[in-house]
Structure 1
Amino acid sequence: MSWRYARPSRMEVSDKTTGHHLQRILHYSVAPCRPLPGSRPSECAIHGVDCDEVYPGIYIGDADSARNKVFLRIMGITHILNTAEGSRYGQVDTGHIFYRDMPNIRYMGFPMLDQPTTDISRYFYIASKFIENAISSGGKVLVHCLVGMSRSATCVLAHLMISKKMTAVEAIRTVRMRRDIRPNDGFLQQLADLDNELKREQTYSSY
């Protein structure tokens, strides 16, 4: 399956990415309206879950999509990344035990809260490796948090930057074409920091 995303114009690229810059891109990017070819959005409506395929094999969803085992089986989900693991307010209390009757599911959980002060960057490379392992093995991965807009979206954006070599702007535009996402300001700044880090690495590797 071929995949294309919109590259930013030269006017949109600065030497250093900032969280404020990503806020503007997020605000003015295309509203989600285009399902991927071959996707089955009707299944989401039938099962009452909020879930979208934002890149081939990568789904961002809410807590209901992660808890609905019938939906997971129908969609062929093989990996689940819970970016809000826990029992506190705003978290989703699932885990390995919850999916023990689904031996085909591989699970990973991060105990994060949706707060600007949360250090989500510590999970960027771990999340990306988990997602890439799912895709490279021919599987499908559901990345979720409580509502599927901030923590889960941030991890997917980081994956697209790390593994698919997208800039932060390209990643945001790619996901926003298919889902409404709203990472908090702290997460956007951490994505900006990752973007700058990856740019430096690319520059050094070119020498």
Structure 2
Amino acid sequence: MMRRMQDNDRLSLPGGETTERQLTLAIWATAGKKMEFKPLPGFDPSLDNLQYYRAQQDIDCDEVYPGIYIGDGVTAKNKKYLKILGITHVLNAAEGKRYGCVNTDNNYYADTTMKYLGLQITDLPSVDIGKYFYIVANFIDEAVSSGGKAFVHCMQGVSRSATCVLAYLMIKKNMLATDAIHLVRTNRDVHPNDGFLRQLAELDNRLRRQRLQLH
């Protein structure tokens, strides 16, 4: 088994290895390319009254792929809004009570039918988020493949949550990392930290090698 893994690691990739720098450039290339203003998911843009406007003030949420939403911690705590969206799965990529974390857990959503997954990840380049890539991909896929919807969040909805969604698109939808970044960033201004981008590049190389072996 170890021999096979080592042989797999030595497979040369057409076009060379995906690097952290390439993914950083992909983010720069899409700077300012977020799609034109879109109404918040779940709200009717034709309605115009003060109460409706106020209801949107604390919402930060974008649908980045059919059935997959990225948002912030405040929106994640708005169970009424998540129900309006039809969310079936909530992924908190920043679970905890410390600064920069979102203090929710299974109990918080116990009065709903939503399935919850909480990961205690801090938004630091040194953190090993890669060990969760297949866990989050399976969780998000469970939602989407069953006709449900996943709300993926961290504190601000730009780094940890985005990294989880990118890993899902790469693992379950066979997207290259650069293509996944382009897709998500046309819908939301995300920018995973440098360490997370490096781990996404490593994942990209592993997945590309696996696909080469299958052909």
Which band: TM-score by shorter chain? 0.7 to 0.9
For residues 110-121 of structure 1, the aligned pairs below 5 Å read 110-121=119-130
User: Matched residues in 2 for 1:42 and 1:154: separation?
Assistant: 29
TM-score by length of 2: 0.84
Q: Which residue of 2 aligns with 1:25?
A: 26
User: Matched residues in 1 for 2:41 and 2:35: separation?
Assistant: 13
For residues 1-207 of structure 1, the aligned pairs below 5 Å read 14-29=15-30, 31-33=33-35, 39-40=41-42, 46-47=55-56, 48-102=58-112, 104-206=113-215
Give identity over the alignment, percent.
Answer: 49
**Which ranges in structure 1 are unaligned for 5 or more consecutive residues?**
1-12
Larger Rg: 2
Is the 8 Å Cα contact of residues 32 and 178 (structure 1) preserved in structure 2?
yes
Show CA shifts across 1:101-144 (max 9, x none). 11x10000110000000000000000000000001111100000
**Offset at residue 38 of structure 1 (A):** 11
Q: How many aligned residue pairs are there?
A: 193
User: Matched residues in 2 for 1:79 and 1:163: separation?
Assistant: 17
User: Matched residues in 1 for 2:181 and 2:43: separation?
Assistant: 21
CA 1:125/1:112 → structure 2, altered by over 3 Å: closer, same or farther? same
User: Matched residues in 2 for 1:36 and 1:50: separation?
Assistant: 12
**Offset at residue 40 of structure 1 (A):** 3.9
SS in 2 for 1:193: helix
**Offset at residue 14 of structure 1 (A):** 3.4
SS in 2 for 1:97: helix
SS in 2 for 1:116: coil
Query: What amino acid sits opposite 1:18 in the alignment?
Result: T
Displaced runs of 4 or more, over 6 A: 35-38
Is the 8 Å Cα contact of residues 36 and 53 (structure 1) preserved in structure 2?
no
